């Protein structure tokens, strides 16, 4: 699992990507294989697996307008019958919001698919 650490570089540039820690990669893989919509990595960041506009994204828990692309590299395919659930995280394009911000996602319903590891100390 990799996250885009340098958005000034093209996504095709190898230096644009950094690997997640082994612990976070394990959380991501477990949630991905289960078809979970979103996984909370720590108090600061979560990852949405099925955003309708951007696909895999990492976003700040306190400011969802701050996000970066995520990639899964290698690993087995999801088990048959496990489909990704909608992430309920919306990435706005320039056409959607003039300031590029996301719509508010404060309702509890929109977080019903979030997996959290409350014992995590974060990275």
Stretches where the chain sits below pLDDT 50 are 90, 92-123
User: Is 110 domain-assigned?
Assistant: no
Q: What is the pLDDT of residue 79?
A: 76
Q: What is the pLDDT of residue 31?
A: 92
Q: Report the distance separating Cα 41 and Cα 112, nearest Å.
A: 16
Q: Report the distance separating Cα 40 and Cα 58, nearest Å.
A: 10
Q: What is the pLDDT of residue 68?
A: 93
Q: Structural domain of residue 24, as residue ranges?
A: 2-101
Q: Report the distance separating Cα 88 and Cα 38, nearest Å.
A: 9
Q: What is the pLDDT of residue 98?
A: 41
Q: What is the pLDDT of residue 89?
A: 52
Q: Report the distance separating Cα 22 and Cα 1, nearest Å.
A: 9
User: Is 15 domain-assigned?
Assistant: yes
Q: What is the pLDDT of residue 81?
A: 72
Domain count within the chain: 1
pTM: 0.67
User: Is 121 domain-assigned?
Assistant: no
Residue 43 CA to its chain's centroid (Å):
14
User: Is 108 domain-assigned?
Assistant: no
């Amino acid at each position: 699992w990799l996250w885009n650490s340098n958005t000034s570089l093209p996504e095709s540039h190898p230096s644009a990507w950094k690997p997640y820690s082994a612990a976070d990669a394990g959380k991501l893989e477990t949630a991905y294989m289960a078809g979970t919509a979103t996984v909370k990595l720590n108090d600061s960041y979560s990852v949405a697996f099925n955003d309708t506009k951007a696909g895999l994204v990492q976003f700040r828990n306190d400011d969802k307008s701050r996000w970066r692309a995520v990639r899964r590299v290698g690993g087995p395919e999801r088990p048959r019958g496990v489909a990704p659930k909608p992430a309920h995280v919306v990435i706005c394009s320039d056409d959607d919001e003039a300031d590029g911000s996301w719509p508010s996602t404060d309702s509890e319903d929109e977080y019903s698919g979030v997996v959290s590891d409350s014992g995590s100390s974060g990275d």
